[in-house]
Amino acid sequence: MSQATTTRFKLPFYLLALLASLSGCSTGRTKKAPSGFEYRILAKGHGPGAKVGQEILLLETTRYRNGTVLYSNEQSANPVKVLIGGNQATQAVDEALVGMKTGEIKEITAPPHLVKRSGYPPNVSPDSTLVIKLILHKIL
């Protein structure tokens, strides 16, 4: 078995889902959420959708619209545990997580009023629109 074949079988599920979406198996149009952020599904997930009050494991990348990455744990082996609706994430992320399925990849573009935080890291401007890629790793 070649090295390339061995590596392919070691890819996590969410990367396989992303590759499938890029090949045309699962593409999404940009839609607008009731609160005002835009989103698109980059890869479909499987199983039941996440609900308010459930804990999930999340991989995420947050960036400015120009592509500058502010935060990412995508390459980490440790997804973040988040209680949906528990004020542990911004309003946009909390809303975007509802209905996501295991393995789903969703990209949201959220205006400043939906990504406000109580404290801002020095590299994040409080009046910026952010692009956030969410990967629902697992519903607990």
CATH code for position 123: 3.10.50.40
For residue 82, give the H/E element and its range: strand 80-83
pLDDT-derived band at 121, boundaries 50, 70, 90:
low
Total domain count, the chain: 1
Averaged pLDDT, 94-106: 96
In whole angstroms, what is the distance from residue 26 CA to residue 16 CA?
12
- Given phi > 0 = left and psi -120 to 50 = alpha, else beta, which region is 85? left
In whole angstroms, what is the distance from residue 5 CA to residue 119 CA?
45
pLDDT-derived band at 47, boundaries 50, 70, 90:
very high
Domain span holding position 128 = 3-139
pLDDT-derived band at 19, boundaries 50, 70, 90:
very low
In whole angstroms, what is the distance from residue 104 CA to residue 18 CA?
9
Q: Which two tokens stand for residue 55?
A: 């804990």
Per-residue model confidence (pLDDT) at position 57: 97
At 123, which amino acid appears? N
Summarised one tens digit per residue, pLDDT across range 88-97 is 899 999 999 9
